[in-house]
Homo-oligomer: A and B are copies of this chain.
């Protein structure tokens, strides 16, 4: 019998290893039929922790091929890690040399830590935006004038996690407005929501999936009935279309993708010229 190949992939970093993990995971998604195990080795920033990481890599079970994505900046520590063997994958070194050559400037490894997403918004903006999202969840306590974005959708269509992600990652103030039975009866949204039309974005979801999600929370309720879910979703989509509100189906879409698409649709990609 032809056994699947096995790989152990290590994400080694002097910081959180989020960048190394992001890169490594992108690489391994390109290979099928391989049994991957992953291990994050974060905050490797002195000879002791580096030796600890090397020991872990060296103890990879012998039927696993070790791959080492290494974003540690300090050369001495890198050497300790590399002494453990395995395929060395450095996502940055060659690219840094190319940028240096093009710009005619040396990089300064003492300065930059590979902080990944942590600078997407300043820390304070992100905390403030998270507090905003929490206090403007489910349409309560609405102060929509301050919102960067207002997500619309029926209950359990994915509004809350998306708002929190936009806040935590990008420091965007995201409020959400749950479309109510009353709105659906009237087939319109309240004026104090519609007055912010340029900030509105709708979410929709497959009614079968919605019914399943609602059933987990309230089994055998009218709220979770498939027919009710179908009617709500269909009516919400009619409202979006009638008012030319852009919307997206969240059923098979990751939180990252939903957030990315909303930012493009509402032109919230701030850091540009």
Contacts and interface: CB of A to CB of B under 8 A. Distances in A.
Interface of A: 5, 7-8, 15-19, 21-23, 25-34, 37-40, 42-43, 61, 64-65, 67, 71, 87, 89, 91-92, 94-96, 98-99, 102-103, 105, 107-109, 111-119, 123, 126-127, 130-131, 134, 137, 158, 160-161, 164-165, 168, 254-257, 259-261, 264, 269, 271-273
A71 B91 CA distance: 13
B105 A95 contact: no
28 contacts: A7-B103, A8-B273, A16-B260, A17-B260, A18-B22, A19-B23, A25-B116, A26-B92, A26-B114, A26-B115, A27-B99, A28-B112, A29-B112, A29-B113, A30-B92, A30-B107, A30-B108, A30-B112, A31-B107, A31-B111, A31-B112, A37-B273, A40-B269, A43-B261, A94-B94, A115-B254, A134-B160, A165-B168
Contacts of A37: 271-273
Nearest to A73: B30
Nearest to A36: B271
Q: Which of A8, A16, A65, A165 gathers the greatest number of chain B CB atoms within 10 Å?
A: A16
Given A102-B87, A103-B5, A260-B17, A29 B273 contact: no
A264 B41 CA distance: 9
Given A65-B103, A103-B65, A257 B26 contact: no
Contacts of A271: 37-40
Contacts of A98: 87, 89
| Number of copies of this chain that the complex holds | 2
Contact of A22 (B19, B158, B164): B19
B269 A39 contact: yes
A199 B262 CA distance: 36
Contacts of A42: 260-261, 264
Contacts of A254: 16, 115, 118, 123
Contact of A123 (B28, B30, B115, B255): B255
A115 B256 CA distance: 9
A164 B109 CA distance: 32
A32 B111 CA distance: 8
Contact of A89 (B22, B89, B99, B255): B99
A26 B102 contact: no
B34 A103 contact: yes
